């Protein structure tokens, strides 16, 4: 009888112990820098895109920083995430292309709570505000005077602007070309 009681206690503890521990299921773990609105912090960075948070570990101390407080996250010296406000909520947006035109990605943001329609997942910044890129026409419009040759490039390369890696490749190429033809002083 005692053996059954001990077994029941052991089983109960085994099943409830994981519920007592706080976990941080991070998408990206690396050394880097978190730039907040008031500070620049470096250490081990764990990015949780679902919660729009970064867990920063410096030595023995840990700090969770929300997208509301984050200006940017640099991993391996490269701008990787930025915190932005959209529809009165703050999100950690992934930087998929950086340069003359910077493209951000964040899937699963609800545009309309009544219809549950979601944003496309692609955004750019204009006048300090984040704006949605809804489709191919919007992507091509971002190229301005370079729209025609970039449209040909995208077509010749077989890029599908509904795929994240193709959007990234197209804007990487454009930003590199722009820098070559328009060098900074």
pLDDT tens for each residue of 25-34: 566 678 999 9
What pTM, to 2 d.p., does this model score? 0.80
Residue 163 has pLDDT above 90, yes or no: yes
CA–CA separation, 29 and 67 (whole Å): 17
Residue 22 has pLDDT above 70, yes or no: no
Question: Given this model, what pLDDT does residue 18 score?
Answer: 43
Strand order in 129-132's β-sheet?
Answer: 61-66, 53-58, 40-48, 28-36, 70-75, 78-86, 89-97, 103-105, 122-126, 129-132
Question: Given this model, what pLDDT does residue 113 score?
Answer: 86
Comparing CA positions, the residue from 121, 117, 147, 145 lying closest to residue 134 is: 121
């Amino acid at each position: 009888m005692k053996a059954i009681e001990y077994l029941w206690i052991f089983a109960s503890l085994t099943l409830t112990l994981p519920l007592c521990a706080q976990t941080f299921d991070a998408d990206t773990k690396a050394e880097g820098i978190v730039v907040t609105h008031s500070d620049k912090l470096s250490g081990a960075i764990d990015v949780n895109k679902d919660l729009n948070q970064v867990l920063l570990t410096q030595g023995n101390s840990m700090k969770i920083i929300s997208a509301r407080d984050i200006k940017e996250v640099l991993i391996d010296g490269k701008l990787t995430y930025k915190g932005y406000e959209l529809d009165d909520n703050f999100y950690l947006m992934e930087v998929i292309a950086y340069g003359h035109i910077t493209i951000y990605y964040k899937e699963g943001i609800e545009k309309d709570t009544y219809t549950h329609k979601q944003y496309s997942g692609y955004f750019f910044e204009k006048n300090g505000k984040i704006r949605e890129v809804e489709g191919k026409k919007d992507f091509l419009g971002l190229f301005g005077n370079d729209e025609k040759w970039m449209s040909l490039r995208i077509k010749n390369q077989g890029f599908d602007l509904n795929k994240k890696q193709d959007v990234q490749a197209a804007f990487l190429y454009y930003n590199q070309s722009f820098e070559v033809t328009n060098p900074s002083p």
